[in-house]
Structure 1
């Protein structure tokens, strides 16, 4: 799947009914040149200091008049937001024990006018659909050494344009639907709890803390889950769980419950 491109506007018919309102909110799209001069106030949310520093230097070279803040956790990003009102946020998906999408959910929940640009090394149909589902993510990019796609996405998002359109979400949903299913009835209560937390992006350590059990027990349960599903990785497991969630309106993630 190609991500990070600016797509033409499309209709609001959704791959899943629960996404229709977000489709309407995310319909504006266009190509905006990087050369358009405007002052940006940019929040960078990433748990790797060297990555944050590299992005900051590149953005300050590209946008000499911009203001940039750095955060390593969602709470820190929220605190910076409350104090400084950034105009756009660049967020990584995978933080140490949480997801950058929790910040996007905060932006949507608090009705902040802060478009989010996901910049990640771990792109998947599930993560693309999850980003779309927040209603606050305007672009989804894979990390690269080239700053131009990010600069273009920041410019576009700041103007209210989105590259994370319905067509991208529909393609992600089709990719998910082409994979096998996940039936909670086939698993124990503990296995289901672990599978849901894996789909929410929790590490083994975070799951162990959440469920108050040993990390070795988590790994044993995952081995059992993988065997039952005939999968080999957390990504494949998360994919199955996300497909099951998408077909079950009203499901909430562990972070929302």
Structure 2
């Protein structure tokens, strides 16, 4: 693995992923690169924010699908509170909406978890040097025509977000200026298309998409 950073100073990096085995694997081969120092690990968003404040690392390698706080929202908070810290997303999701949401939140790069170690090192190098890096699949997703929210219409996506916020059919109907029956129809369609029946499951899905904070 070759790291091209021009400065001899080591890159201080924090790993953020809620799977200990994933963090262990990343740490093992990142620490094999002389210019990279893994100074901390976080298994949740709150812990990541604490480490950011305590350690002020150069870079945080952030997963999206965490239990307490999705990585896109965490990136937005890190960008607002610690603008000097660069965020590189490492995710299993390659859909354009994830990549776009990460960019808007302040991420400087987006790499898929199945990428080779050389690609992740190249991403770290580019981001630390002040640039951006997007893996080929993520870049391709951005250039593709945007899907209708994975089969959902725009109205169904609006209903999903409101359902995830805990609103009733009547409250959704009032907010969107539609009938209660229409709201119920959209709700049934959303659940059928996504295969998700519970409000908690819908909220989790909306969080993963970056539609709900």
TM-score (norm 1): 0.58
SS in 1 for 2:14: strand
Question: Residue 91 of structure 1 is aligned with which of 23, 47, 62?
Answer: 62
SS in 2 for 1:157: helix
Q: Which runs of 5+ in 1 are unaligned?
A: 1-32, 198-209, 214-220, 242-251
Q: Which runs of 5+ in 2 are unaligned?
A: 169-185, 197-201
**Count of residue correspondences:** 183
Could you tell me how far apart the structure 2 residues matched to 1:156 and 1:86 are?
16
Question: Residue 152 of structure 1 is aligned with which of 99, 107, 122?
Answer: 122
Greater RCO (CA < 8 Å, at least 6 residues apart): 1
Asked if 1:78 is matched to 2:49, the reply is yes
For residues 144-167 of structure 1, the C-alpha deviation after alignment (integer angstroms, 9 at most, x for no partner) is 2732111111111111011249x9
Backbone CA RMSD of aligned residues: 3.8
Once the 2 structures are TM-superposed, how far is the Cα of residue 253 of structure 1 from its aligned partner?
Answer: 4.7
Once the 2 structures are TM-superposed, how far is the Cα of residue 66 of structure 1 from its aligned partner?
Answer: 1.6
SS in 2 for 1:113: coil
Could you tell me how far apart the structure 2 residues matched to 1:188 and 1:162 are?
31
Once the 2 structures are TM-superposed, how far is the Cα of residue 232 of structure 1 from its aligned partner?
Answer: 4.6
Could you tell me how far apart the structure 1 residues matched to 2:167 and 2:10 are?
47
Q: CA, structure 1 residues 180+223, in 2 after alignment: closer, same or farther (shift >3 Å)?
A: closer
Could you tell me how far apart the structure 2 residues matched to 1:144 and 1:187 are?
29
Question: Residue 112 of structure 2 is aligned with which of 142, 150, 157?
Answer: 142
> Residue in 2 aligned with 1:120?
91
Q: CA, structure 1 residues 48+212, in 2 after alignment: closer, same or farther (shift >3 Å)?
A: farther
SS in 2 for 1:61: coil
Could you tell me how far apart the structure 2 residues matched to 1:86 and 1:157 are?
13
Once the 2 structures are TM-superposed, how far is the Cα of residue 141 of structure 1 from its aligned partner?
Answer: 0.8
Could you tell me how far apart the structure 2 residues matched to 1:104 and 1:122 are?
16
